[in-house]
Amino acid sequence: MPESPLAQPLKLPCGAVLPNRLAKAAMTEGLADNQLHATHRHETLYGRWSDGGAGLLITGNVMIDHRVLERPGNVAIDPAPAEGEPEGMAQLRAWAEAGTRNGNHLWMQISHAGRQSPRYVTTRPMGPSEVQLSLMGNYARPRALSEPEILDFIQRFANVARIAKEAGFTGVQVHGAHGYLLSSFLSPVTNQRTDRWGGSLENRARFLLEVVRATRAAVGPEFPVAVKLNSDDFRKGGFTLDESVKVVRWLNEEGIDLLEVSGGTYEQPRLLGYSGDADTASDGPAMRESTRKREAYFLDYAQTIREVCDCPLMVTGGFRTRAFMEEAVANGETDVIGLGRPLCTDPDTPKDLLEGRIDKTVCHEDHIKLAQRGFFSPASPLMPLKVINVLGGQAWYYQQIFRLADDGKADPDLGIFKAIGAYLKDEMGQARRVKKARRQNGGT
């Protein structure tokens, strides 16, 4: 048999080589301790994923600001000193060592949650402007960042990237998608500033571009720097595909090594294959009917971006069959296939695909719903039912990640309501412990 396109190595612009074309996409882990440091559970989880055969593993979002987290179990490197080592460096080194033990790359995804930090984490989220996230009251109104804070955050991204390199991670990914802080600056809905950080697309993209520039300066020319970018926010008045193409042209000038194409936000969770509030939803550019029937959510949008992008592309979301993955790589539609949810229950999925033992990944998302169709399904006209379906799916996969991190086996029979209950208990308990530790340390 000829070698699968998925098994071919990929040389990046910086000179680093990915051993194959399969990547574990970033997924939030929720495994940090009360000080927001990495733990032995990260080592166990990423050791298993490393053994699973993917050429690239990308961590869940590592935060630059302990005050504003995506969830209370995030790892945060804050303060991130411009020189020297932060607290928790030994844990980061152990995480990196375990996550690269099979010869693969392990990249740290670096992020700031922005306005998408829940109330049980903070009642003072941050954003480009005071535009509140409308999602069942779980998110407080953000305060607008000052320019000195923006400049400080730019340097924090760079400092965390340097620390990641020193800890043994083999690359970094700047998270500029999904409505988090950098992404929210790109959107005219959430960025209503009138200074040099808002208004025109050039101004709205300034924060992201300055972060990438500072990150590259911090890690040097031979260390992989990637960016995750929305192809479209899928929200009326939001960041569009045309704007994404323009941002990619500017990113070309910064010399990034890999661009991951994604889409959507918390309000429009297209990254999970769902749509949100119908009143604010936008379908984005028209898609070919043939593409609507294909597996990958964002592959059609990636083709438009491919026309202008100078670096390799990674597309995540919906890939399930080996034949389609091989076709997408062989046809040049993408260079790297991102896999997420299948690896939460079956960490050996990449190896099984590469060695031909399976033709299709598991698809648990097909049954993790209140109903397959109708009023109680994810397509429900009632927003709370949509949220329960989305939250239930996320909670289910979070619990599977916990089981892998505890060196156990996945539980495919876990029910959606039991998963939601366990998730909420875990989140609230961890939030209380983190806040208590913060008070004991004299922090805010």
Q: Does position 292 have pLDDT exceeding 80, yes or no?
A: no
Mean pLDDT of 245-274: 81
User: Full-prediction pTM beyond 0.85?
Assistant: yes
How far is CA 134 from its chain centroid?
21
- Beta bridge mates, 260: 228, 314
Most confident among 185-189, 238-242, 371-375 (mean pLDDT):
185-189
Identify whether the C-beta of residue 206 lies closer than 8 Å to the C-beta of residue 145. no
Q: What is the pLDDT of residues 355-375, one digit of tens each?
A: 999 999 998 877 786 666 677
**3 state SS of 429:** helix
Closest to 266 measured CA to CA, from 70, 67, 31: 70
**Residue 327, both tokens:** 């076709």
Q: Distance of CA 156 to CAs 79, 171, 408, 414, Å?
A: 8, 16, 36, 39
- If you average pLDDT over residues 282-306, what whole number do you get? 66
- DSSP 3-state assignment of 171? strand
Model confidence at 297, in pLDDT bands (50, 70, 90)?
A: confident
98: left (phi over 0), alpha (psi -120 to 50) or beta: alpha
Q: How many helices (DSSP H) and strands (DSSP E) are in the chain?
A: 14, 13
